[in-house]
Amino acid sequence: MTKWPDDDVILYDGVCVFCSRWVRFVATRDVERRFRFTAIQSAYGTRLAQTFGIDPHDPDTNAVVHGGTAWLKSDAALTVLSLLPGWRWVRMLFAVPKPLRDAVYSLVARNRYRIFGKYEECFVPDAEMRARVIE
């Protein structure tokens, strides 16, 4: 499995409204400020995506690097949630077979622009969150 030198980095689609809301959701609940964020459209995000086989021009997943390993699709979402205070209970969802979890994830990912919308440009975080963004 490919390793990445930075840890607890969330890769997301910066023009996706749903993905940007996910980042704000995590940042708000991440009281330890463990996670940092990078849009796939940034130079750093593009390198990260390509390293893990994600097409930066047509991403089908977000990702999180945790423990030096990239977690994709439902594994990424559940890993992030399980590390947030009050959300550790989601660990039990890892018991749901991965193909089923990823099928649901992929259905939402394929339709995210149509359902939630798309920004013309990358989502720009507020000043406090900007300190946690890697470009």
Q: What is the pLDDT of residue 123?
A: 66
Note the pTM of the prediction, 2 decimals: 0.89
Long-range CB contacts (< 8 A, 24+ apart) of 23-32? 23/123, 23/125, 23/129, 24/125, 24/129, 26/80, 26/84, 27/125, 27/129, 27/132, 29/84, 29/85, 29/86, 29/87, 30/84, 31/85
Is 90 exceeded by the pLDDT of residue 77?
yes
Strand 69-72 with 63-66, pairing? antiparallel
Q: Which of 53-57, 67-71, 120-124 has the lowest mean pLDDT?
A: 120-124
Query: Contact 36/4 with Cβ under 8 angstroms?
Result: no
Query: Contact 35/10 with Cβ under 8 angstroms?
Result: yes
pLDDT digits (tens, 9 = 90+) for 18-40: 998 999 999 999 999 999 999 99
DSSP 114: H
High-pLDDT (> 90) share of the chain, %: 62
Q: What is the pLDDT of residue 57?
A: 87
Q: What are phi and psi of 10, to 5 degrees?
A: -105, 125
